[in-house]
Structures are given as C-alpha cells and as structure tokens.
Structure 1
Amino acid sequence: MFLVGLTGGISSGKSAVSTMLRELGCPIIDADVVARKVVEQHTPAYSRIVYHFGPEILLENGEIDRQKLGQLIFADEEKRKLLNSITHPEIHKAMLKEILLYFLRGYRYVVLDVPLLFETRRLTKFLNHTVVVYCDPATQLLRLMQRDGLTQEHAEQRVAAQMPLNEKRGLANHVVENSGSREDTHRQVLRLHTRLEDSMDFLLAEKGCRNLSLNINCF
C-alpha cells in the first residue's frame, strides 16, 4: 500500500478536492477530523491546552472554543507553535491507527488530507505522492473573507500564518489548480484519480505502512 498526501492553503479548496476524491472511492484520512477528536474533553491534549491557554478558551459545555483559540494562535507565532507541539504528535498517532486499518483491509493506497503537510514535514518522508490544491492569492483571500466573515486584515493575517501556496506548489508531485470553476477542478481530480489507480507504487509497501509503523516513535 502507498500513501498520498493532500494539502493546500486556507480557502484554497482542499476540502472540495478531498470530497471529490472520496466520492470516487478513495480512502481519505482527514487530519482536521482527527484533530477535533484528539482534543475532546478528558484527552491528554485537551488537558494540556487548557493548562497552557487557560479556561477562557472553553465554551460553556467545557469544549474548546476553536474560533477563540484560533484567534489567539494566528496572532502569536509562539502560541501557534505551542499548540502544534501539543496536538501534532497525537494527531499523527491517531492517523497511523487508521492507516494500518486500511492496510489490513487490503487498500492499494490511502489519501492523507493534511493542511500543514509541508509545514511540519513529519509525514512527507512516508509519502509516494503529494498533491497541492492551489488557487491564486487574490482568490484565496476573497474566499476566506466571504467564508469566515473576516476583514481583509484578519484574512491576510491567517494566510500569512501558513506557508505560501506558491512554495507548496513547488514541493508537490501533483497540483490541482482551483482558481477557476468547479467543473474544471473536477476534471483535474478525475485525471489525478486515474493516475493513482494506475500506479504500481502499492508494491512498494516498505515506503508506506511498513516504515510508518516502525517509526511511530518519531512522532
């Protein structure tokens, strides 16, 4: 089995591409979904986040207010690094468990939907393919402002907190250009799906699950 990393930037359209791949039958492990699970109440990550950021980041029901926490970390690089150091190891361990389940079920490959794939680089050495969903900066900013109701200043701050999409595009094996219509993006996803289905990389299991399972402690 081989591993495919899917990433992009905030509001670049990565989630839309991930949904298209899932609809085509690709097994998807969404790091954002995993991230929400590992910070649920009574988990080790939850306790550490509350300890470092204080109870003011909690909702009335005790859950973490993701919007309030997001405002804190996007305005402070050190706080963002602290949060990542708490959550990323837990996220990677949980993803590993899901990868191994797909491996045991006989899948040829698994797509890892990871927003910060190139920022952390902890998973890239296990991947046979990397895919970046790209859109031009102006489109990215406008989509983010419309989606989250942000001012231009706040939207620019959130975009600046991530690696530039141009840089990510240069690191990827495949690029899905998502500045245009949904139909154009869907055609590109279909071509990508065909290439993955036809790939013989599943024979190189050593680079995928085998090495990943042996290196769990690196997370």
Structure 2
Amino acid sequence: MLIVGLTGGIASGKTTIADMFKKEGAYIIDIDMISREVVKPGKPAWGEVVHIFGKEVLNEDQTLNRKKVGDIVFSDAEKRKKLEDIIHPEIAKERLIKINEIAKKNDRAIVIIDVPLLIETNKQDTVDKVVLVYTSPQGQVERMVKRDGFSLEEANNRLAAQMPIEKKKKFAHFIITNDGPCEKIQKEVKKIFRELKKEEAQKRKKF
C-alpha cells in the first residue's frame, strides 16, 4: 500500500484531480468530507464547537454553518487553534479507520488522501508521497467566487492568507498544473499514477 497526500492551494481543483486518480484505480479519502462528518449534529465535536463558537454558527437544521465558522477563524487565530484542536483528532481517527478498511480489501492499494492543509499543518511526513495541485491565482479566485459565493475581496483575502505555493513546492514529489486542456491534465495524472504504482511495488520489496 502507498499513502499519497494530494494537496494544493484553496480552490485549486484538488477534487477534480482526485476524481481522475480514482478513475485510474486509486482509493480516495476526502479529508474535507470527513471534517464535515465529524461535526454533524450529535457528534462529540459538534457539541464542543457550539460550546466555543455559540449557537449563532448553526443553521436552522442545527448543522454547522461552515461559512460563519470559517469567517470567525479566518480573523481569530486563537479560535482557529481551538477549532483545530477539536476536529483534527477526530479526523485522524476516521482517516485511520478508512485506511485500515482499504488495506483489508487491497494491500497493494494506492490511497490518495485529499488534504487541503497537509503542508500547513506539517503532516507531510504522515504520507509516503506528496502530489501538489497548482493553478493560477486568477483561477483560484474565480472558483471561490463561483463555488463558495465569496465576494472578490473575500476571495483575494483568503488567497493572500494562504501559504505561498512556492513554499509548498519543495515538499512535493509530483506537481500537477491544473490549468489548460483537460486531456493534458488527465495524461499527467495517468503518468503520475504509473509512477505511484512503481513506488508501491518498491515499498513492498523492502518488507
């Protein structure tokens, strides 16, 4: 088995790239999806988040309003740290469960873990390889406005607060530029997947 961290800047198109890897035969673990699961109403982390941030961050159906929480932690480092201390351990538990489930099915699996903040949280050493998705700043802003409903100013502020992509590049084993024709990107994904399969085989030989 080979564990691969798929990361990149905000709105860089990681999910699209993950889908391409899935079509090649990779198993995908979506950390953003897990982060939503662990704070569903009734879950321990949900109660802790509400206790710290108040009921004003809840929607009418009692689910967390992720945009409200995001706006708070974006401008308050202390609350951001508290939020991370609540949800990161829960995410780590679920991630391990999912990896073990995959291992039982296929001990030669290529597992792609879609982790937005892999490098920012210094977790790059928890994976065997790092694939970095790069897209132009303009493309990131356009996605945030269209996908997340941010204003142009909000999108630019979020982008400015991110770790510069140049710093992330030095941690990456593979870099995918997610601009240009889809066919070109798919070819790059296929090429990287072949390399990952070779890496997995070499890793197995060591044991």
Partner of 2:54: 54
Partner of 2:41: 41
Distance 1:201 1:33 in 2: 31
For residues 128 and 102 of structure 2, the distance between their equivalents in structure 1, rounded to whole angstroms, comes to: 16
Q: 1:65 to 1:193 in 2, by over 3 A?
A: same
Q: Who is 2:122 aligned against? A: 121
Identify if the C-alpha distance between structure 1 residues 181 and 76 changes in structure 2 by more than 3 Å, giving closer, same or farther: farther
Count of equivalent residues: 205
Q: TM-score of the superposition, structure 1-length normalised?
A: 0.86
Partner of 1:190: 190
Contact 1:12/1:140 (<8 A) preserved: yes
Q: Show CA shifts across 1:97-145 (max 9, x none).
A: 11011112223231111111011123x2232210000012232223322
Shift of 1:180: 1.9
Identical residues among aligned pairs (%): 39
SS at 2:25's partner residue? Answer: coil
Alignment CA distance shift 1:165-1:90 (3 Å): same
User: Counterpart of 1:171?
Assistant: 171
How big is the shift at 1:40? 0.9
SS in 1 for 2:86: helix
CA distance in structure 2 between the partners assigned to 1:183 and 1:168 by the alignment: 25
SS, match of residue 193 in structure 2: helix
Residue type matched to 1:172 in 2?
A
Residues 6 and 131 in structure 1, CA contact (< 8 A), matched pair in contact too: yes
**Structure 2 partner of 1:216:** none
What pairs up with 1:81-96 in 2 under 5 angstroms?
81-96=81-96
How far 1:202 sits from its partner (Å)? 4.0
Distance in 1 (CA, whole Å) between partners of 2:20 and 2:56 is 38
1:141-184 deviations in whole A, cap 9, x for unaligned?
A: 23322333322220122123332222212211110011222222
User: Hey, which bits of structure 1, 4+ residues long, moved more than 3 A?
Assistant: none
RMSD of aligned alpha carbons: 1.8
Secondary structure (helix, strand or coil) at the match of 1:171 reads coil
Amino acid at match of 1:69: V
Q: How is 1:24-39 mapped onto 2 (pairs within 5 angstroms)?
A: 24-39=24-39
* CA distance, structure 1, for counterparts of residue 9 and residue 133 of structure 2: 8
